[in-house]
Amino acid sequence: MINKKYPFNKSDEEWREILSVEEYHIMREKGTEKPFSGKYNTHFEHGIYLCKSCKQELYKSNSKFKSSCGWPSYDNSIPNSIDYKKDMTHGIIRTEILCSKCGSHQGHVFDDGPTKSGKRYCVNSASIEFKPN
């Protein structure tokens, strides 16, 4: 996590109680789900995508697009909902995206999006949940 005290914070034990094994691995240990396996990859209903850990609103459905990369993709986030951290794992430089309320790992953002923003927020389905309009 970045050097920040998040307003919604839990002990490691508390996170393990409220998250599934897969959710914990992805959101607290910076894991990644297998491509094309997440339930929101091809989900295009109208509503808001929330952080699975703390329920903060992160992405509006109108920012979601079909990227064919295997993970849900958005061209922007709700203002102030995401923190950004330089990630140099796997021998490449990427930008990690974290929920700004609880610090949970969401995925990474790339500068290869096809929309006007030029961004592709590549998010793990296990890190989010959907609230319909």
Cα dihedral 82, 85, 90, 92 sign: positive
Q: CB count, 10 Å around CB of 26? A: 24
- Catalytic residue flag (residue 102): no
The pLDDT value recorded for residue 3 is 67
Q: Domain limits of the chain?
A: 12-132
Among residues 48, 84, 47, 42, the alpha carbon closest in space to that of 67 is found at 42
What is the per-residue DSSP string for 24-86? Answer: HHHHHH---PPTT-STTTT---SEEEEETTT--EEEEGGGEE---SSS-EES---TTSEEEEE
* pLDDT band of 111, cuts 50, 70, 90: very high
Question: Rounded to an integer, what distance in angstroms lies between the CA atom of residue 44 and that of residue 76?
Answer: 15
The pLDDT value recorded for residue 129 is 98
The pTM of the full predicted model, rounded to 2 decimals, is: 0.94
Strands 128-132 and 47-51, how do they pair?
Answer: antiparallel
Q: How does pLDDT run across 28-83, given as a tens digit for each residue?
A: 999 999 999 999 999 999 999 999 999 999 999 999 999 999 999 999 999 999 99
In the predicted structure, residue 1 carries a pLDDT above the cut 70 = no
Report the percent of the chain where pLDDT is more than 70. 98
Strands 128-132 and 94-99, how do they pair?
Answer: unpaired
CATH class of 12-132: mainly beta
The pLDDT value recorded for residue 100 is 97
Among residues 33, 2, 28, 35, the alpha carbon closest in space to that of 14 is found at 28
Question: Which amino acid type is present at position 80?
Answer: N
| Mean pLDDT to the nearest integer, 23-27 | 98
The pLDDT value recorded for residue 90 is 86
Q: Which of 51, 54, 102, 122 is catalytic?
A: 122
